[in-house]
Amino acid sequence: MKKLILAHYYTLPEVQAAADIVGDSLALSIAAAETDADEIIFAGVRFMGETAKILCPGKRVVLPDPEAGCSLADGCRADDLAALKAAHPDAVVVSYVNTSAEVKALTDICCTSSNALAVIRSIPSDREIIFAPDRNLGAWLKAQTGRENMILWDGACHVHQGFDPAVLTELRAAHPGVPVLAHPECPAALLEQADYVGSTAGIIERVGAIGADEYIIVTEPGILYELESRYPGRKFHTVPGVDPDRRRCNECEYMKQITIEKLQAALDGQTPEVTLAENIRSAAEKSIRNMLTLRS
Ligand code: 13P
Ligand code: SF4
């Protein structure tokens, strides 16, 4: 049986090293949609495994840690989104891929941080949009597109919300002229200080395009494994946590739940597969397929 291991850039270095494909949320969704493997082992959090299962109902999809959640996905309940939809029946519902299958089933089109701008620009300007669940990404999209008719869900990723703008200001002062690259899940006070805003894959590509010796990176530090492997000799500064007692500050503890031992157990067939009720899966599929038509 052919098995494919997918891993997100925020997972542990040894997990990324063991994967067949390492990528951002969009690239991994595309890889899941296009693989001819019989089984997908998804070293990522629950919404990622669910997305793969939505796209590949006939394949076995396994999460090394089925309990690995996501603060964004967990902060957006399907019944609350249904109530918001009922209050705005003509709105187009755009959901970040960091959502449960039940939320995707209520969504017209999903997006990731890679293609969110293209998704918003694909919607006629006179149509109201409900954007869930990341208020920071939503506010950035509003600012980039000048679009006022977007209703933003009040959710955030605790990792990116936790970066302190004052700490970034100090870091920039300590490293004058060093380019700042930030993920759009960060609040506006950080994004305003960035030279580039983009997904994890976008940040990695942009480092290659800039060609400087040093960078300030404002996202989860798991990305350093790919940056340092791809660009040896360059220096990457991450924004430190503000609370010295929080040893895992600015790390996604959910992504770090995926250990190499759990990955091995999944490979050995010891981990249950992802299952979804077929009515939810099929209702969610259209929103993911719509997303895959807009890749950048
Ligand atoms: P991307 O993979 O789109 O960069 O998003 C980062 C993230 O938070 C995934 O959980
Ligand atoms: Fe969710 Fe944030 Fe972790 Fe990504 S980094 S999985 S958005 S909690």
The set of protein residues with a Cβ atom below 6 angstroms from ligand 1 is: 24-25, 98, 112-114, 157, 185, 199-200
Please, are residues 71 and 96 in contact by the beta-carbon 8 Å criterion? no
State the average pLDDT over residues 174-191: 98
Residue 249: per-residue pLDDT: 60
Give the ligand 2 atom nearest the CA of 10: 5
By the 10 Å C-beta count (0-12 exposed, 13-18 middle, 19+ buried), 288 is classed as buried
pLDDT in tens, 35-68: 999 999 999 999 999 999 999 999 999 999 999 9
Residue 295: per-residue pLDDT: 73
**Domains present along the chain, CATH in parentheses:** 3-68+257-275 (3.40.50.10800), 72-156 (3.40.50.10800), 159-252 (3.40.50.10800)
pLDDT in tens, 210-229: 999 999 999 999 999 999 99
Query: Over 60: is that where the pLDDT of 256 sits?
Result: yes
Give the ligand 1 atom nearest the CA of 98: 10
**Dihedral sign, Cα of residue 59, residue 60, residue 64, residue 66:** positive
Residue 244: per-residue pLDDT: 55
Strand partners, 150: 129
State the average pLDDT over residues 174-200: 98
The set of protein residues with a Cβ atom below 6 angstroms from ligand 2 is: 10, 45, 70-72, 98, 157-159, 220, 252, 254-255
d(CA 96, CA 85): 16
By the 10 Å C-beta count (0-12 exposed, 13-18 middle, 19+ buried), 13 is classed as middle
Query: Over 50: is that where the pLDDT of 287 sits?
Result: yes
State the average pLDDT over residues 187-192: 98
d(CA 28, CA 34): 10
Residue 245: per-residue pLDDT: 53
Calculate the average pLDDT of the chain: 95
pLDDT in tens, 5-36: 999 999 999 999 999 999 999 899 999 999 99
Cα 71 to ligand 1 centre (Å): 12
Cα 254 to ligand 2 centre (Å): 7
Residue 5: per-residue pLDDT: 98
More confident residue, 233 or 295: 233
Which of 136, 252, 253 best tests ligand 2's pocket when mutated (most atoms within 8 Å of CB)? Answer: 252
Please, are residues 181 and 259 in contact by the beta-carbon 8 Å criterion? no
Residue 1: per-residue pLDDT: 87
Secondary structure, 3-state, the chain: CCEEEEEECCCCHHHHHHCCEEECHHHHHHHHHHCCCCEEEEECCHHHHHHHHHHCCCCEEECCCCCCCCHHHHCCCHHHHHHHHHHCCCCEEEEECCCCHHHHHCCCEEECCCCHHHHHHCCCCCCCEEEECEHHHHHHHHHHHCCCCEEECCECCHHHHCCCHHHHHHHHHHCCCCCEEECCCCCHHHHCCCCEECCHHHHHHHHHHHCCCEEEEECCCCHHHHHHHHCCCCEEEECCCCCCCCCCCCCCHHHHCCCHHHHHHHHCCCCCECCCCHHHHHHHHHHHHHHHCCCC
Closest CA to 252 of 137, 156, 180, 111: 156
How many other β-carbons are positioned within 10 Å of the β-carbon of residue 220? 23
